[in-house]
Every structure is written in C-alpha cells, then in structure tokens.
A and B are shown apart, each in its own frame.
Chain A
Amino acid sequence: MASAASKLYADDVSLLMVLLDTNPFFWSSSNLPFSKFLPHVLAFLNSILLLNQLNQVVVIATGYNSCSYIYDSSSDSNQGSDHGRIMPARCSNLLQKLEEFVIKDEQLFKEGSREGISSSLLSGSLSMALCFDEQIYRGFFDQGHFILNLAVTMHAMQILCLQGSSDGPEQYVAIMNSIFSAQRSMVPIDSCYMGSSNSAFLQQASYITGGVYLKPQQPNGLFQYLSTVFATDLHSRAFLQLPKSLGVDFRASCFCHKKTIDMGYICSVCLSIFCKHHKKCSTCGVLKLLSVLYALCFGWVRRITT
C-alpha cells in the first residue's frame, strides 16, 4: 500500500507562491530599479514552469496599501497563442495585472495620504499565500481516496518573498502568526531580500520554517541567484549545499528602552518584556485604562440611544 502511494506522489512537483514587493518608495531609491528587477523575476518564473509541466506558480503583489493576486499559472488559458507577438502571453498577462495593481495601490495612498511609508504589507500577502496553500492542501485530501486519483498530484508548497522595503514593526505579531502557521503546515518560507540591511522578519521566517534566506551581493546577477538557490524543489534541497543562515538572534528587546537583553522580566498577564523589575507592568496598566475608557464610552453611547 505504501509503495503505491509513494510512486504516485511526485516529489519534484512544486507550487511556488511568489510575494513580489512593489513598494515604489523602495524601488525608487534602490540600486537595481524595478524595470531591471522584473525581467529577472519573469525569467525565473518561466524557468520554474519549464522544469516540470505540473509546476504551478502564483504571484501575489505586496503593495504599501494593499495586496492582491496578480498571476496564477493554472488559470492561464491562452498559452498557445504566442505566435506573432513580441511578448509571450504569460508575461503580458502578468504585467498588465501588475500595472493595474500598482495604479490602484497608488490611488489608495492618495485617499489615505499618509507620509513616509517605507514598509510594505508583507503580513497581508503572507496570510493570503497561506490561505491559498491551505486550500490546495485541502483540495488534495478532500478527494478522499487520493491514491486512486492520478489527475491530482500533490504539490510541494513553497513561499518565496522577494522583498525590498524595510520591516514594518507594527506588523510584527501578524507576521509571527503567519510564520508559526507556515511552520505548522510545513511550508518553507524562502526569502530574497533586496534592501540594504538585513530584514529581521524574513530571517526569522526562513529560519523557523526551514527555508533559505539570501541577500544577493550583486543585485545585477539576480537571475542567477534565483535560479541556483530558489528554483530547486524541496526534495532536491537535501542534496545541495544551500546558503546557510548565519544564525538568527532570538534575544528579545525590552519594551521600556528597546534594548536587546539576555535576561529580563516578563509580565505574567500580557507577556511584556522589561529590563528592570517594576512594581507594576506599564503595558497592562495602559491596557486596563483603555478598557475602562472604552467601557465608559460604550455605556454612554448606549444611554443616549435608549
């Protein structure tokens, strides 16, 4: 029984979710402009689809005001009609969607009109990618007797973050939640970081989920980095010498002075971290005050309405 199952299960078919950072604030100041970055990525996506005909690629754009699915290779219908065009259908589809997304993202920014956003909404696109993976996974096992089903092949799922902008501290909890969820469903998060200094979020994500974190030394050779490191399927990775993480610092920083500490005091109620012993936890104190205010306001509103 087991041997039949393992034969039908293809170990080199992968489903790659690419999270593409489109933050204009980053790309306008980057060494590698977006117009030069994109051809590397398109070539990489094509090569993934070339490696195995069953491979699937889904691209999610990570904007600074929204996130959206922009490409799914399984729903790409007009692959045959490439003749006579300068650009293959795949790329033109993707580029068109990408352009629409960027324009919409910019409009949202004008409505919100907030200054100086340097981070992208990585937590949003990561959450979407995980929902998609979960759906694929469910669809596979919902077939019931999946051994019989030759048409559906189990994809090995991977997430690749092509990120450039810096971390947004307000996304910390959401990103950590996504990381633990990915770890639980055994989806590795690979990250290729184009920014100037390392991204602590992506380093943690790759370390915890068993993915690869890479910061290309020469951005002009991006395609080579992508194809040699990230194009390998999960099965083959066991045989390769991939870039090792140099160790991630898991020490915490205290809430009071933002210092990185070895030893500290944790509030047993809200898990805030402090470097010195206080009589009262300042975070819970604040929280309690807020909830009292909230209750007061709520009571007040109710009194007016009744």
Chain B
Amino acid sequence: MNNGEQRRLNGEAEEDEDDDDANNGGLAAWERAYADERSWESLQEDESGLLQPIDNQSLKHAQYRRRLRAASTARIQKGLIRYLFIVIDLSKAAAEMDFRPSRMGVVAKHVEAFIREFFYQNPLSQVGLVTVKDGVAHCLTDLGGSPESHVKALMGKLECSGDSSLQNALDLVHGYLNQIPSYGHREVLILYSALSTCDPGDIMETIQKCKKSKIRCSVIGLSAEIFICKHLCQETGGLYYIALDEAHLKELILEHAPPPPAIAEFAIANLIKMGFPQRAAEGSVAICSCHKEAKVGAGYTCPRCKARVCELPTECRICGLTLISSPHLARSYHHLFPIVPFDEVPLSLLIDQQNKFPRACFGCQQNLLGPGNKPGLRVACPKCKQHFCLECDIYIHESLHNCPGCESTRHSRIPNINEG
C-alpha cells in the first residue's frame, strides 16, 4: 500500500516537473537546479575542512533572538497610528529575472503579504500605494484601511517600463502625507529595483522637504546599494537594506509591519475623536455608504451621523469620524506591554542540575531532552522561571504575546506597568 502510494506520488512529481519544463523554457534542468536552489549555500566548512550542512534551526533561532533583543531595547513609545505609503518601482529594472519569476512578481507577492500583516498588527493605521514607471509616479490607491482594495489594485497594475524617479515619487507622497493630522506617524516604504534615478530637479531639496515634514523614509533595494537611497534614509531616520534573496526580501519587508519606535517630536500626542458603532440588528435593511448597495443586516451604524458602514475599522464616508471597535484597540495593546525576551538556559547549568529542571516545555508539554536524553536548547522566562522549547519561544513572542507561565501565577501581575 505504502509502496503504491509512493509510486503514484513519484509519478505525479514527474508530471509536475514536466510542467515546470514547459513554463521555464530557457534554462536546462541542471542549470536551473544550481540557479534556484543555491545548494552550496546550505553547506559550511568545519575546522578540519570537511563540508557539513548548516544547522538551520539553531541558526534561525539565534537570528530571531538577536532581532527580539534589538526590538526590546529600543522600546519606549511606539507610533501606533501610522500613515504609510508603499512606493513600488516598476521601471524596466523590475523586469530583471534574478528573482523568480521577476523582481516585480516577487515584490508584488510579498507586498500583498505585508499589507495583510500590517493591518493585522496596526488596525488603526492606513496604507496607500504608489507606483513609479516611465519616470512618473502614479498614486495607485489613496490612504485607506481596507487590505482587500489595495491588494486588488496592486495585482491589476503589474507592468513595467521606462526609468525610475525617486524625486517624483517623494514629491507625490509628500503632497499626500502633508495633509494628514499631526498625531499620525508619516512613513514611506520604497521598494527600489533600479540602480539610478531620473529626476526633474534637485533631489536633495526634496529630501530636505521630507525631513522637514517628518516623513520617515525607508528603502529596500533589490539590486545594489545606491548613495542617494542611503542618504535619504539617514536624513529621515528610516532603514536602508538590500535584499540578498527572496527569503531575505520577505524578512526585510515584514520588518516594517510592527510599529516603529516613536520619536517624540515626530508626532504630537493628541486625543482623537473616535466612534464605537454598534452592530445593526439582523434583518434590518439599509444602503451602506461604502459600496452604495442595499444590504440586509450585517453592518455597523455610525454613532454621529447614523450612516451604515460594512466593516470596521474605517472612516465614516459621511461625517469623517474614525469608526473602530474595542477589540481593534485591544489588538494594539501588546505593542505597549511587550513581554520580556526569554533567557537561554546555559548548557553547563543544565548538565549539572538536570534533575532539578522540568523535563517538558511548560507551554506545549513537549519533551525538552534531546536525542539520547541529553539536554537540548531551552529558554526560561526571567519572571516566572518556567522553561520553554524554542518553538514555543517564537510562538509566544511573535503571535501570542503572553507568557503562559506568568499568566498562570497570581503573584507576578502588577509590575507590567512600569515598562510602558
């Protein structure tokens, strides 16, 4: 049975390869294997010169811990209400095929994922899309809070041609971001494929203008480092990185999803008027103000002007009141009260006092002992001293934002507040 299963699957795999062949014209199979998989990168040399596969898991975990520590040291205040423009370079450099299938396709795919993640993490923020091609910047979507409309607009407009112009893009974005209220954090994320910029005037002036308007500009390059991008990021306090491969690009883009540390003078703290609409009764008929369609039930009523809207969070089309629900606010609270990074338990301590430590991860009950009952890597919460496995560590810090150990004790409750 198992054999049959295997054979059938092999058969299917072969078929798949045939399909790939048809799609992938130009390259021979052996060329593709080298170009796509980069098999040499997954090997490293040990001290005696032998080749060994890289221990991916511990490497990944070490990298994650570095990021976590960097994030937790730089936390004082976070910009929770963000207005972000994503500028996508669609010049002819975006058609390059060093990323598969093309730079443009890869960027579009990851921007889509980014937009969804962004709204998940920042429910009170807004995003707009700008594309640059033929030396001209176009506003694809205005600032808005609905991920679906952005993704749809982006996927419909994927063609590239001509040169790229950094100045035109910045001028356009500056015009839009200058109008937003003072409490919002203004940000631009530029995904730049080209190695040059074709500008109508002095770009240095534009950079100074952005700096004066407190717009934080970050650039992710897909080819090589360019001076003007680096200068832009340094001046405005943004980040500049070059993507090495697709996985790195994804990581770099998603790094912009959590709210950045707020710089006090960038946005003025203010009290903002917001509405908490109630769900309309089941079966009531109304015309919604967003799609202009008659809908039965399912909708929310603006508390100020009583207009019907379909989904939250949004801005009322009639009176302009920001409409949210209390879970949206609650979703942002974990940025304000982050949990402390866990400490790695040193291996020497583990070997000495193996019997004193718990055998299973406190979160998932998985055995913490490695193969052959040797102590493996584990981490401990500095507050509640419970031990966790590496997977739980990542899950707890990246998705759950609660320490199961601290949550299941009565005593360590209050100290959370002096971290805010």
- Give A residues with C-beta under 8 Å from B: 1, 4, 64-69, 72, 108, 112, 114, 117, 121, 123-125, 127-128, 130-132, 134-135, 138, 145, 147-148, 150, 170-174, 176-181, 184-185, 204, 208, 247, 249-252, 261-271, 273-274, 277-278, 281, 284, 287, 290-291, 294
Contact = CB atoms under 8 A, between A and B. Distances in A.
Interface string B58-101: 00000000000000000001001100000000000000000000
Contacts of B262: 269
A66 B408 contact: yes
Interface string B385-420: 000000110011001111111011111010001101
A176 B331 CA distance: 7
A80 to B, nearest CB: 24
Nearest to A273: B329
The 4 closest A-B pairs by CB, nearest first: A124-B408, A131-B363, A135-B364, A67-B408
Contacts of B411: 112
Interface in B335-390: 336-337, 361-366
A131 B410 contact: no
Interface stretch (B5-13, B27-35, B163-171, B208-216): B5-13
Interface residues of B, number: 67
A138 B394 CA distance: 12
Contacts of B332: 271
B31 to A, nearest CB: 26
Contacts, number: 190
Contacts of B364: 131-132, 134-135
B269 interface: yes
Given A4-B9, A266-B329, 11 more contacts: A69-B365, A108-B410, A127-B407, A130-B400, A131-B395, A132-B364, A176-B330, A185-B399, A264-B274, A271-B80, A290-B417
Nearest to B392: A131
A223 B332 CA distance: 39
B304 interface: yes
Contact of A251 (B120, B276, B361, B407): B276
7 contacts: A124-B409, A134-B364, A177-B333, A180-B330, A251-B325, A262-B275, A277-B273
A294 to B, nearest CB: 5
Contacts of A252: 276, 325-326, 329
Nearest to A129: B404
Nearest to A185: B399
A35 to B, nearest CB: 25
Contacts of B326: 250-252
A140 to B, nearest CB: 13
Contact of A177 (B334, B365, B366): B334
A250 B325 contact: yes
A134 B391 contact: yes
B274 A291 contact: no
Contacts of B327: 176, 179-180, 204, 208, 250
A269 B403 contact: no
Nearest to B407: A124
Contact of B303 (A114, A184, A262, A284): A262
A294 B418 CA distance: 7
Nearest to B268: A268
B243 interface: no
A135 B395 CA distance: 9
A138 B400 contact: no
Interface string B114-153: 0000001000100000000000000000000000000000
Contact of A267 (B271, B392, B405, B418): B271
A173 B392 CA distance: 20
A121 B303 CA distance: 36
Contacts of B278: 249-251, 262
Nearest to A278: B271
Interface in B269-318: 269-279, 303-304
Nearest to B15: A1
Contact of B336 (A178, A264, A270): A270
Nearest to A260: B276
A67 B386 CA distance: 13
Contacts of B52: none
B404 A173 contact: no
Contacts of A135: 363-366, 391-392
Contact of A127 (B183, B272, B273, B403): B403
B402 A177 contact: yes
Nearest to A271: B329
Contacts of B403: 127
B409 A65 contact: yes
A247 B183 contact: no
A269 B77 contact: yes
A181 B417 CA distance: 22
A250 to B, nearest CB: 4
B318 to A, nearest CB: 14
B267 interface: yes
B400 A274 contact: no
Contacts of A68: 408
Contacts of A177: 333-334, 400-402
B398 to A, nearest CB: 10
